[in-house]
Amino acid sequence: MEVHDEFIPEDEFATVLNRVPQACVEVVLERDGQALLAHRTKEPAKGEWFWPGSRLFKGERLEDAARRVAREELGVEVTVEERVGVYEHFWDASSIDGVDSRHTVNIVYRVRQTDPAESIELDEQHDDYRFVTGDEDGLHEYVERYLADVELGGD
């Protein structure tokens, strides 16, 4: 099946988001026993340290989406290590006009950079990144949930 990654006009996208959950793929990029979090500049989760992620395109395979997310949002190529799990997020915010809340179904993959020396280059959705071990205070509850299911440092 052909991958459909075309732009969806905002009013059409708003209609969909107001009626059904959105399928998303997120990546937990691991390096040296730590996981990357990116600081979000857009809703939902604006101002939060969160996982890179994106909607799943029609016809796109899940692992291909994980590699695309890393390439587009972090500027790096990755190897998919494992599927961490499937989660659901409920947000009381959205970046789409006419949408007051979002419900996402998130398929999460643990990934590693194919070239660890390659620099992280963030997209416009993020303004900073950091690596965490999971012992830090103040992590978003959804971040904590993923970290509970990921065994960091399992090289």
Query: What is the predicted pLDDT for the residue at 97?
Result: 87
CATH superfamily to which 15-149 belongs = Nucleoside Triphosphate Pyrophosphohydrolase (3.90.79.10)
Predicted structure pTM score: 0.92
**Structural contact between residues 75 and 29, judged by C-beta atoms closer than 8 angstroms:** no
Q: Quick: pLDDT tens for 102-137.
A: 999 999 999 999 999 999 999 999 999 999 998 899
As a whole number of angstroms, the distance between CA 155 and CA 104 comes to 30
Domain ranges of the chain: 15-149
**Structural contact between residues 97 and 55, judged by C-beta atoms closer than 8 angstroms:** no
Q: Quick: pLDDT tens for 63-101.
A: 999 999 999 999 999 999 999 999 999 999 888 888 999
**Structural contact between residues 140 and 48, judged by C-beta atoms closer than 8 angstroms:** yes
Q: With cut-offs at 50, 70 and 90, classify the pLDDT of residue 56.
A: very high
